[in-house]
Amino acid sequence: MLLPIRKMADAARRARYLEALGINVWVPRHPPVETVVAPVDPATLDWPALRACVSDCMRCASHQGRTQTVFGVGDTAARWMVVGEAPGADEDRQGEPFVGAAGQLLNAMLAAIELPRETVYITNILKCRPPDNRDPRPEEVSACLPYLHRQVALLRPQIILAFGRVAAQSLLGTDSTLGKLRRSVHHFGALNTPVVVTYHPAYLLRSPGEKRKAWEDLKFARRVFAELPPAV
């Protein structure tokens, strides 16, 4: 039982000697306590908090190459919601969905059914630009969908317009082709929100011959909306 006491005395004596010699005694620090931050549940957030959460998101690897996140834009009391696939280079620079040539065509498409851009809410499945504008990967869609679910829950739109194959397949959880999904009413999320599918404006710029089909889709969406019961 004397050995520990002797060791303590030796250590104290050694410390006094080193102090007398002007030598600092370094005492090892305790390792820092790691702070565990609970993941934020998007389902609990209001608009400002959700936007902030998205801007800090690192749920998937696509955050590494972004300039900024692209949350969404428009009227947060809109009855129509527009959902695209993912930001491109222009959107990544400006932080707003559907800008550039595709955005101008989208504006014209909406105006054709008497929906000025500022009267709808516009967002994408992904909030970060995929590298080289490739299609979103399943893990990226899974990481971002909770944000879209919350946007829908906050907005409570009466109808969703899905632009493009990836947007439609991601919203509806299907691998059906765009051709099979068009001209039908689908539903999304807990609110069972009606979804109408059409071509992405970027595709229409490459394939202008399909614009007539897109116009038929938009007229169909307008008829679907007109037949919905009044919003509560």
**Residue 25 corresponds to which amino acid?**
V
By three-state DSSP, how is residue 143 classified? helix
Q: Are 113 and 161 in contact (CB under 8 A)?
A: no
Q: Are 154 and 49 in contact (CB under 8 A)?
A: no
By three-state DSSP, how is residue 197 classified? strand
pLDDT tens-digit map of 139-166: 999 999 999 999 999 999 999 999 999 9
By three-state DSSP, how is residue 193 classified? strand
Report the pLDDT value the prediction gives residue 176, as an integer from 0 to 100. 97
pLDDT tens-digit map of 94-117: 999 999 899 999 999 999 999 999
Q: Distances from the Cα of 123 to the Cαs of 5, 73, 150, in angstroms?
A: 70, 7, 12
Strand runs labelled E in the chain: 73-74, 80-84, 121-124, 159-163, 186-188, 193-198
| Residue 21 pLDDT class (50, 70, 90 cuts) | low
Helix boundaries (H) for 25-177? 47-55, 89-94, 100-112, 138-155, 165-172
Distance CA 153, CA 194 (A): 13
Q: Are 129 and 136 in contact (CB under 8 A)?
A: no
pLDDT tens-digit map of 180-228: 999 999 999 989 999 999 999 999 999 999 999 999 999 999 999 999 9
Comparing 3 with 178, which gets the higher pLDDT?
A: 178
Domain boundaries, the chain: 42-226
Mean pLDDT of 54-79: 94
Q: Are 86 and 136 in contact (CB under 8 A)?
A: yes
Distance CA 20, CA 95 (A): 63
Mean pLDDT of 23-38: 54
| Superfamily name and number for 42-226 | Uracil-DNA glycosylase-like domain (3.40.470.10)
